[in-house]
Chains A and B, each alone.
Chain A
Amino acid sequence: MRVTFTVNGKRRSHAGTGMKRLLDVLREDLSLPGTKEGCGEGECGACTVLLDGEAVVSCLIPVAQVSGRRVATVESLGRPDRLNPLQEAFLAEGAAQCGICTPGMLMTASAYLRRGGRADDDAIRRELAGNLCRCTGYQHIVRAVQQATRGGAARRTRARRRV
């Protein structure tokens, strides 16, 4: 079967089984290895991407399900020499240690910011509850997301997104 969708603003298509995991299509077929696999069963959130702006775990999404929809991965955010405000906040607050949960964490936080999420500590913790991090104890991540909600970071993240 053939599935057509957009990834980070570009039209893409997938030929072959529609049951292939979106995660594998991104990593193997589209050369977008920024999305990570942590558990393969939707528990850890490392593979989180945005599907029409909603945070989803790409290890549980068969590619057939994204037909005609918009996918955004960590590669749609800033570049190393031009981080987006959320990434800047992660860097400033020490929110990335080993970095393996970071892409998923950033995508979940991006969805939160897009919805106009506020700097409330508890609300951010509820939002990030599906993303496991074994390094940080989350405190610096929460602080980074709080910082990003201030100073129009959410607005700028939206403006820079091409999807």
Chain B
Amino acid sequence: MKHTSTWPARMPAVSKVVGRNARRREGPEKLCGVAKYVDDYALPGCLFGATLRSTIACGRIRSVTLDPAFPWHEYVVATADDIPGANYVALIENDQPLLAKDRVRHLMEPILLVAHPVRAKAYAALAHVRVAYEEEAPLLDPEQSKTVFKSFHIERGAIERALADADVVVEGEYHLPHQEQAYIETNGAAAWFEKDGTLVALGSLQCPHYVVKALKAAFGLPEEKLRVVQAVTGGGFGGKEEYPNVICAHAGLLARKASRPVKIIYDRHEDMAATTKRHPAVIRFRSGATRDGRLVAQDVEILMDGGAYVTLSPVVLSRGTLHATGPYDCPNVRIRSRVVMTHTPPNGAFRGFGAPQTLFAAEMQMERLALKLGMDPLAIRRKNAVQAGSTLPMGQTLRESVGARQALEACVERSAYTRRARECARWNRSSKRPSWRGIGLALVHHGAGFTGSGELYLGSRAAVTLTRDGELRVLSGSTEFGQGTTTLFSQIVAETLCVPLELVTVETPDTARVPNSGPTVASRTCMMVGRLLREAALELKAAVTAGKARFPATQPTLKTAARRLCGEAEARRFEAVYRKPDWVSWDDKSYTGDAYEAYSYGAMAIELEIDKATFETAIRGVWIAADIGTVIHPLFAEGQVIGGATQGLGYALLESTVYEGGVMKNARFTDYTIPTTLDTPRMDVVFVPSPYSLGPFGAKGVGELPMDFPAPAVAAAVRHAIGRFVDALPITPERIARALAKDAAA
């Protein structure tokens, strides 16, 4: 198998499914309420599990006592002592206990599990367990933390001299909060043991093979005795990337002890208070430019709060670090970053994965530079935006598929940015107006796939099989949780084989049946796994057509061909394995090289209005342009962009996590506000594809990009409206009031 560097210029004549809005493959089941999410499975004899959690942020566990008057014989109880393997959640570092035994390091940390046939009774039992602690003072301020989980230092050019020589230098300090993924289906899993001793976990999850790894460590079972199946999953956004490891293992522990299936479904409060969030960050930034607006120096210091355990913090920090200077050319760069421990529930994956934090800071620096130079924010971006041939801080020279400028221009044109900017300024000149108006721009990039050598380590696999009965089946570990994975994969395979979409089915991600395609994260599913599927399909095609006939495009002819191909076998399977493109080079030690094969680019313009009496913000218009390469499914891509941008607008304006004593106090939908229909503006979305030669049909990634641009665009618009920078999110009326008051006081 080898990478073809260009796709056939002429698209296949028969199917023509790429670029069209195919019906969502699993849509009808979801629309009729028959799609089965984990809590919809009625498992015979099933018990319900509940988790006893730490009520202190830091300290020693002196004792755990079960109330002797309570009818424990009705219950199954599991503690750390019931773990047959190792007591840790296997991920990057194995520092997080599955169940705390001697010490707790954050509030809500799991200590003990109970199960009962009646769900409410399982929860009620928790009140009858007493935990005695020796409490210690928790460390809650990341600035004070000496425990560094990971740090990076990237340097290019001569930063100090460049700052000294720059015509203008601006400084900023940015504070980014926790953000809750707020998938509408809470985390949950079920587990049971088969007669042959196989542990099966069924869950709401993004990464079934991650769970296999975690179960392997916790249960000491070989992989062939572990099976992880994805139930229909009600949203993830990163929040079901690593946390399901914990829940699946907990359910497995109880199931092992009970010899019955056990289901654990978190309620909303538990899910919000105990599971991962977006990493809070403090970013200190100095930027220098020449008088005519050319960027000459970018000096960034990033501090992220990892919470109590490492989880995915090193890779979140990595992505944040690598995106920290935005999609701009700059010869002198220094990025120093670290993620540290605090006694709070671990932070983890959330759409964007570190980049929304750092790109916010990078874009606000562009605003500050523009202001200081007396330049239009559009002009400074036009002057510095990357193009083919530009070099990023880690030394990656962009070879192709660089649509930053096209995205910026399309966004500016569709929003009539220049006219609106003038109109806002005119509106604000009159003090009689009841509001201030502003328009803001943001331009971002987002790398698709794992960082650096990550894809090589993953060694992802994906396969297409043809059964004797003529069924084409996609086998991959990539999961569907709303993005459209199933439909997209069908399209890519159908297009490659020139068959109607209906002839292709996609296997449920079940680790007993599908190869490990790597995790469903990092905007990698379409570009990375889609590419593997195209390669596998091309092999299948070659085997069927044997260089002569056209690939059969109807069910009967496919069946005939399948009989011929399979002979006596049930099916023939064609598997593709990730191979690093020759030109990609990355050095983990120096952290230099080609960090990502390709980047997607996005620009947003947003016009808003701030009430002078209440400081409430109302959005007047949103325009988005994105280069995600070839658009495989325009409707789904638009859905990703609008949905992601809505989460970004929540991050920018609404979503306030209140932490007290080391835990989220407003852990419910009543108090943690995510955007409703009335908070969400209509959005104008346009795609400006710069196809990537190694993406399937030229596609790149789309999932995370739209999370990156709303916050800086909003903050830029707020600055334009009120003439003050608000450098902390979310930009609530209170923050706007403070920004105005601070200025009045000064």
Please tell me if the beta carbons of B42 and A31 are within 8 angstroms of each other in the complex: yes
A98 in contact with B668 (CB, 8 Å)? no
**Bitwise interface map of B from 335 to 347 toward A, beta carbon under 8 Å scored 1, else 0:** 0000000000000
Residues B638-655 near A (CB distance < 8 A): 638-639, 642-647
Specify which chain B residues have a CB less than 8 angstroms from the CB of A27 in the assembled complex: 40
Residues of A within 8 A of B29 (CB): 80
CA distance A40 to B668 in the complex (A): 10
Separation of A87 and B29 alpha carbons in the complex (Å): 10
B21 CB within 8 Å of chain A: yes
What are 9 pairs between A and B in contact, CB < 8 Å? A36-B185, A38-B185, A43-B670, A75-B34, A87-B28, A101-B184, A102-B30, A134-B674, A135-B643
Q: Which of A102-136 contact B (CB under 8 A)?
A: 102-103, 106, 121, 124-126, 128-136
Q: With a CB–CB cut-off of 8 A, which chain A residues contact B328?
A: none
**A39 to B268, Cβ gap below 8 A?**
yes
Closest to A89 in B: B31
Q: With the chains together, A17 CA to B358 CA distance in Å?
A: 53
Please indicate the chain A residues that have their CB under 8 angstroms from the CB of B638 in the complex: 94, 140
CA–CA, A124 and B678, complex, Å? 10
The reply to whether B184 and A46 contact each other, CB–CB distance below 8 Å, is yes
Contacts A43-B670, A94-B21, A138-B646: A132 and B676 contacting too (C-beta < 8 A)? Answer: yes
A83 neighbours in B (Cβ, 8 Å): 28, 31-32
Is there an interface contact between B34 and A94, defined as CB atoms closer than 8 Å?
Answer: no
Query: What mask results when residues 9 to 44 of chain B are scored 1 for a CB within 8 Å of chain A, else 0?
Result: 000000000000101101111111111110110100
Decide yes or no whether B636 CB sits under 8 A from chain A.
Answer: yes
B481 within 8 Å of A by Cβ? yes
Q: A75-B33, A100-B234, A141-B677 are in contact. List 8 more A-B contacts (CB 8 A).
A: A38-B186, A43-B668, A43-B670, A91-B31, A96-B27, A98-B183, A130-B676, A134-B647
Query: Smallest Cβ distance from A105 to chain B, in angstroms?
Result: 10
Residues of B that sit less than 8 Å from A by CB: 21, 23-24, 26-37, 39-40, 42, 181-186, 232-237, 267-268, 481-484, 635-636, 638-639, 642-647, 668-670, 674-678, 680, 682-683
Given contacts A101-B184, A132-B669, A135-B235, contact A36 B37 (CB under 8 A): yes
Contact B21 A100 (CB under 8 A): no
Q: Is B677 a contact partner of A98 (Cβ separation < 8 A)?
A: no
In the complex with contacts A100-B184, A100-B234, A102-B31, A135-B676 CB distance below 8 A:
no
Look across to chain B and name the residue whose beta carbon is closest to the beta carbon of A74.
Answer: B33
A33–B503 Cα gap in the complex (Å)? 30
B33: nearest chain-A partner, CB-CB = A34
- What chain A residues lie within 8 Å of B670 (beta carbons)? 41, 43
Interface of A is mostly: loop
A139 near B642 (CB under 8 angstroms)?
yes
- Cβ of A41: which chain B residues have Cβ within 8 Å of it? 268, 668-670
Partner of B669, one of A35, A39, A106, A141: A39
Cα distance A130–B675 when bound, in Å? 11
Minimal beta-carbon separation of B461 from chain A (angstroms) = 26
Residue among A100, A124, A131 with max Cβ neighbours from chain B (10 Å): A100
**Residue A73 lies at the interface, judged by CB distance under 8 Å to chain B:** yes
Q: What's the minimum C-beta distance from A26 to chain B, rounded to whole angstroms?
A: 10
Closest 10 CB pairs of A and B: A34-B33, A100-B234, A99-B30, A98-B482, A97-B482, A137-B646, A43-B669, A80-B28, A137-B642, A74-B33
Q: From A104, which residue of chain B is reached at the shortest CB distance?
A: B184
Please tell me which one of the listed residues B32, B185, B674, B676 contacts residue A87 in the complex, with CB atoms under 8 A apart.
B32
Do A90 and B31 touch across chains, with their CB atoms under 8 A apart?
A: yes
Contacts of B674 in A (CB 8 A): 132, 134
Measured CA separation A32–B235 after assembly (Å): 21
Distance (whole angstroms) from the CB of B644 to the closest CB of chain A: 8
B28 to chain A, nearest CB (A): 4
Q: Is the CB of A136 within 8 A of B23?
A: no
Q: Which B residues are in CB contact (< 8 Å) with A136? A: 639, 642-643, 646
The CA-CA distance from A132 to B267 in the complex, in Å, is 16
Q: How many Å lie between the Cα of A46 and that of B676 in the bound state?
A: 13
Known: A121-B682, A128-B677, A135-B235. A98 touches B642 (CB 8 A): no
Q: A46 vs B184: C-alpha distance in the bound complex, in angstroms?
A: 8
Neighbour of A34 across the interface among B34, B233, B668, CB < 8 A:
B34
Shortest Cβ distance from B180 into A: residue: A134
B268 touching A79 by the CB < 8 A rule?
no
Residues on A with C-beta less than 8 A from B234 are: 36, 98-101
A41→B682 CA distance, assembly (Å): 28
Q: Please name all residues of chain B whose beta carbon is closer than 8 Å to the beta carbon of A140 when the two chains form the complex.
A: 635, 638-639, 642
Tell me which residues across on chain A come within 8 A of B30, comparing CB atoms: 96, 98-99, 102
CB neighbours (8 Å) of A33 from chain B are 33, 36-37, 39-40
Complex Cα distance, B33 from A83, in Å, reads: 12
Nearest CB of A to B21, in Å: 7
Residues in B with CB closer than 8 Å to A36 are: 37, 184-185, 234
Q: Is B678 a contact of A126 with CB atoms below 8 Å?
A: yes
Asked if A77 lies at the interface with its beta carbon under 8 angstroms from chain B, I say yes
In the bound assembly, the distance between CA atoms of A130 and B257 in angstroms comes to: 42
Interchain CB contact (< 8 A) of B185 among A31, A80, A91, A98: A98
Task: Give the docked Cα–Cα distance between A74 and B42 (Å).
Answer: 19
Chain B, Cβ-Cβ closest to A86: B31
Give the chain A neighbours of B185 by CB distance below 8 A.
36, 38, 98, 100
Query: A40-B267, A80-B28, A134-B183 in contact; A98/B481 too (CB < 8 A)?
Result: yes
* Chain A residues whose C-beta falls within 8 Å of the C-beta of B35 in the assembled complex: 99
Q: In the complex, what residue of chain A is closest to B682 when comparing beta carbons?
A: A139
CA distance A103 to B37 in the complex (A): 13
| Chain B residue nearest to A31 in the complex (CB) | B42
Complex interface: chain A residues within 8 A of B26 (CB): 99
Between B28, B674, B682, the greatest number of chain A beta carbons within 10 A of the residue's beta carbon is seen for B28
How far is A96 from B183 in the complex, measured between Cα atoms in Å? Answer: 14
**What chain B residues lie within 8 Å of A163 (beta carbons)?**
none
User: How far apart are A135's CB and chain B's nearest CB, in angstroms?
Assistant: 5
Q: Does A78 contact B (CB under 8 A)?
A: yes
Inter-chain contact B268/A40, CB cutoff 8 Å: yes
Rounded to whole angstroms, the CA-CA distance of A121 and B185 in the bound complex is 27
* A33–B186 CA distance with the chains assembled, in angstroms: 15
In the complex, the answer to whether A137 meets B683 with C-beta atoms within 8 Å is yes
A99 to B34, CA, bound (A): 11
- Cβ contacts under 8 Å, A102 to chain B: 30-31
CB atoms of A129 and B28 under 8 A apart: no
**Bound Cα distance A90, B184 (Å):** 18
A46 and chain B: residue at smallest CB distance: B184
A100 to B42, CA, bound (A): 18
Tell me the nearest residue of chain A to B239, going by C-beta: A134
Query: Nearest chain B CB to A38's CB is how many angstroms away?
Result: 5
Given that A38-B184, A38-B185 are known contacts, is A75 also in contact with B32, CB under 8 Å in the complex?
yes
Which residue of A has the minimal Cβ distance to B181?
A134
Q: Is the CB of A44 within 8 A of B184?
A: yes
A129 touches B678 (CB 8 A): yes
